[in-house]
């Protein structure tokens, strides 16, 4: 009997020791037993000796069973150094995580060389813009990322379009994209339930565009809030208020939104195309806007209405055409009647485009000659959808609107972000953000 107990104890203790390790390339890496799938630390390098976290000492391919690794065929871009991984081509690192909001802490820099690092998350949400690090001067940066799945409850899901089903926003992992001259020492991921969540409801001018050269303001505004805020962008190309609600996206948001969060609502481009009795700016559009406002308030959240971004359509005299009809005016009236916060992006982007003028404004949209991007044999000439430069300018317009509102969110804009004046805009000649290496020539749904 005593012999059995001794054998059992040896076996049990050995089992515990084995469970404290995970296969990592050809070696065993110690894992902190206090870590969970929601809180993880990855240390990169061939000489890592830390007893906490997971030591990544080879350029591992992402494996769902393991739950982490270099993703999207980018492992070959990675060099593992004594205390970092480095890359000069776009590189993706993914970690399998449940739905939630996460704080990401990245230690960057190298003793061997200077670095210049851009970080995007999930479907190209900008988190860090061309940050320069001196040789031998490591820097830690913190940002927040929303991870989500289509599931609402045991019986309901968000209805995804076919082209959404394979994008990074809706899979079961967190993906970080590193661009520039990259040197990364460690990545720490911590579940955060106390962040202010900014939910976005909108169309193709708001959504996280998964592939270059398309972009929208929702995936650039992420770079301008401090580490108390996370953006959860549920916007989808081609949507109107009715289809957004019908696809369970509002229901999904309302299942998660809490007191003190925000719901930004920008629609109009596709609502204009819905004809028939009861529709139009003063019909279903106004009714549904009021419903979105009240639904957010019922949860203790703060609704913010955003009028639609202008299309790039100039009159001969250099002024902009009014392509949205009564829809901006209808949203203004809904905001007034319901005492809701309003950002008049229609007005601000009118000032912006007219300041640029006809030709310079083209540089903010997806307008490129043939063969600019892989597989693009025809000219791209879109007057609705933005490239990265244009999307960032629209994000700055939205920030201008936030700062002019009496809402706490304006105090959560990063202090170093300067005030934006659409009559003194930026120009693409000063735009240097590295492109992701994933492209699509088919334009997003909607116009």
Instruction: Give the Cα separation of 237 and 270 in Å (integer).
Output: 9
Cβ neighbours around 171 below 10 Å, total:
18
Q: What percent of the chain has pLDDT over 70?
A: 92
Q: What percent of the chain has pLDDT over 90?
A: 89
CA 122 vs CA 72, 84, 94, 152: distances in Å = 12, 22, 9, 20
Instruction: Quote the pLDDT of residue 37.
Output: 67
Domain definitions of the chain by residue range: 36-193, 195-427
Burial of 136 (0-12, 13-18, 19+ CB in 10 A): exposed
Cβ neighbours around 80 below 10 Å, total:
18
Residue 97 structure tokens = 């995580």
Q: Are 266 and 444 in contact (CB under 8 A)?
A: no
Instruction: Quote the pLDDT of residue 34.
Output: 41
Instruction: Give the Cα separation of 356 and 14 in Å (integer).
Output: 69
Q: Encode pLDDT of 108-146 as tens digits.
A: 999 999 999 999 999 999 999 999 999 999 999 999 999
Averaged over 31-43, what is the pLDDT? 67
Residue 327 structure tokens = 């829809």
Instruction: Quote the pLDDT of residue 24.
Output: 42
Instruction: Give the Cα separation of 23 and 14 in Å (integer).
Output: 16
Question: Within a 13 Å sphere around the CA of 382, how many CA atoms are in the beta-carbon half?
Answer: 23
Instruction: Quote the pLDDT of residue 371.
Output: 96
- Taking the mean position of all CA atoms in its chain, how far away is CA 138? 25
Averaged over 285-295, what is the pLDDT? 98
Q: Does the active-site annotation cover 86?
A: no
Residues 6+ apart with CB under 8 A from 194: none
Burial of 429 (0-12, 13-18, 19+ CB in 10 A): exposed
Is residue 22 scored above 60 in pLDDT? no
Q: Does the active-site annotation cover 269?
A: no
Q: C-alpha angle with apex 420: 419 to 425, nearest 5 degrees? A: 150
| Superfamily for the 195-427 domain | SGNH hydrolase (3.40.50.1110)
Kindly indicate the confidence band of residue 3, based on its pLDDT and cuts at 50, 70 and 90.
Answer: very low
Instruction: Quote the pLDDT of residue 51.
Output: 78
Extended beta strands in 17-172, E state: 21-24, 27-30, 39-44, 54-56, 68-71, 79-80, 85-87, 91-96, 100-108, 115-121, 125-133, 139-147
CA 19 vs CA 28, 29, 50, 278: distances in Å = 11, 11, 17, 63
Is residue 356 scored above 50 in pLDDT? yes
pTM value > 0.85: yes
**Chain length of the chain:** 447
Q: Are 71 and 168 in contact (CB under 8 A)?
A: no
Q: Encode pLDDT of 256-279 as tens digits.
A: 999 999 999 999 999 999 999 999
Three-class SS state of 24: strand
Q: Does the active-site annotation cover 255?
A: no
CA 232 vs CA 73, 207, 310, 357, 437: distances in Å = 27, 10, 23, 33, 24
Instruction: Quote the pLDDT of residue 36.
Output: 58
Give the residue, 9 or 262, on which the prediction is more confident. 262
Options 86, 204, 216, 295, the catalytic residue? 204
Backbone phi, psi, residue 405, to 5°:
-95, 155
Options 266, 354, 361, 385, the catalytic residue? 385
| Superfamily for the 36-193 domain | Galactose-binding lectin (2.60.120.430)
């Amino acid at each position: 009997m005593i012999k059995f107990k001794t054998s059992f104890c040896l076996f049990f203790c050995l089992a515990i020791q084995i469970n404290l390790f995970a296969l990592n390339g050809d070696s065993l890496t110690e894992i902190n037993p206090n870590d969970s799938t929601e809180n993880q630390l990855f240390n990169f390098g061939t000489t890592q000796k830390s007893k906490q976290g997971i030591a990544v000492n080879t350029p591992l391919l992402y494996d769902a069973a393991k739950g982490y690794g270099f993703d999207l065929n980018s492992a070959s871009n990675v060099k593992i150094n004594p205390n970092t991984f480095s890359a000069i081509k776009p590189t993706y690192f993914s970690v399998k995580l449940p739905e939630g909001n996460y704080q990401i802490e990245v230690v960057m820099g190298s003793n061997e060389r200077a670095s210049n690092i851009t970080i995007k998350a999930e479907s190209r949400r900008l988190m860090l813009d061309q940050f320069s690090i001196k040789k031998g001067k490591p820097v830690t940066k913190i940002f927040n990322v929303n991870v989500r799945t289509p599931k609402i409850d045991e019986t309901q899901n968000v209805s995804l379009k076919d082209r959404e089903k394979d994008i990074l926003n809706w899979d079961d992992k967190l993906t970080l994209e590193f661009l520039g001259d990259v040197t990364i020492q460690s990545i720490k991921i911590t579940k955060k339930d106390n962040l202010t969540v900014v939910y976005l409801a909108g169309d193709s001018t708001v959504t996280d565009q998964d592939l270059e050269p398309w972009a929208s303001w929702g995936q650039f505004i992420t770079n301008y809030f401090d580490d108390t805020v996370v953006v959860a962008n549920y916007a989808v190309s081609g949507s109107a208020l009715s289809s957004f609600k019908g696809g369970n996206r509002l229901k999904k948001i309302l299942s998660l939104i809490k007191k003190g969060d925000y719901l930004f609502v920008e629609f109009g481009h596709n609502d204009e195309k819905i004809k028939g009795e009861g529709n139009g700016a003063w019909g279903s559009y106004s009714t549904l806007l009021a419903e979105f406002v009240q639904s957010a308030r019922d949860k203790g959240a703060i609704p913010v209405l955003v009028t639609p971004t202008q299309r790039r359509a100039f009159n001969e005299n250099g002024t902009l055409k009014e392509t949205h009809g009564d829809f901006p005016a209808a949203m203004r009236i809904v905001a007034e009647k319901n005492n809701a916060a309003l950002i008049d992006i229609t007005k601000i982007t009118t000032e912006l485009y007219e300041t640029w003028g006809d030709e310079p404004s083209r540089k903010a949209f997806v307008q490129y000659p043939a063969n600019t991007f892989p597989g693009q044999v025809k000219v791209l000439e879109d007057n609705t959808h933005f490239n990265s430069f244009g999307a960032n300018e629209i994000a700055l317009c939205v920030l201008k609107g936030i700062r002019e509102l009496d809402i706490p969110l304006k105090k959560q804009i990063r202090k170093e972000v300067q005030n934006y004046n659409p009559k003194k805009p930026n120009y693409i000649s000063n735009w240097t953000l590295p492109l992701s290496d994933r492209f699509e020539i088919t334009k997003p749904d909607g116009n």
